[in-house]
Amino acid sequence: MANKEHIEQLKRAILHLHKADATWRESVPVHEVFRGQTVWQGEVEVFDLTGHPKAKRAYGWSHRDGAHDLGERFVTVLEIPPVESPLTAVRVSIVADGKKRREREKN
């Protein structure tokens, strides 16, 4: 099982962002490769949701972020198509982050 404090932080993020209670289900290792390069590798936590109108499950993880990677960013993704697994949650998050980065570079 994943670190209990980490699980609790992700549960709080899900509650805050998605207004749903989360029950931890499992940890799933994900390794996403693009053009032969690892773009993301880590554990994705899977949660069953209670009280969300559209999703029955959410996926969550965290990674270093900010200046000199001193901060920590919590990512939560609802299981709403096209998201159907920990891997597709990571892929959707990578694409969304890329779009945000391109928008910032335009401005």
Dump pLDDT digits (tens) for 61-75.
Answer: 998 776 666 678 899
> Whole-angstrom Cα distance, residue 31 to residue 94?
13
pLDDT of 5 > 80? The answer is yes
pLDDT digits (tens, 9 = 90+) for 45-61: 999 999 999 999 999 99
Q: In what order do the strands lie in the sheet with 37-50?
A: 21-34, 37-50, 57-65, 71-78
pLDDT value, residue 22:
97
State both tokens at 54.
């559209």
Residue 62 belongs to domain spanning: 4-106
Region 88-100: mean pLDDT is 90
Can you give the pLDDT at residue 102?
Answer: 80
Higher per-residue pLDDT: 64 or 42: 42
Mean pLDDT (the chain, rounded): 91
Domains in the chain, number: 1
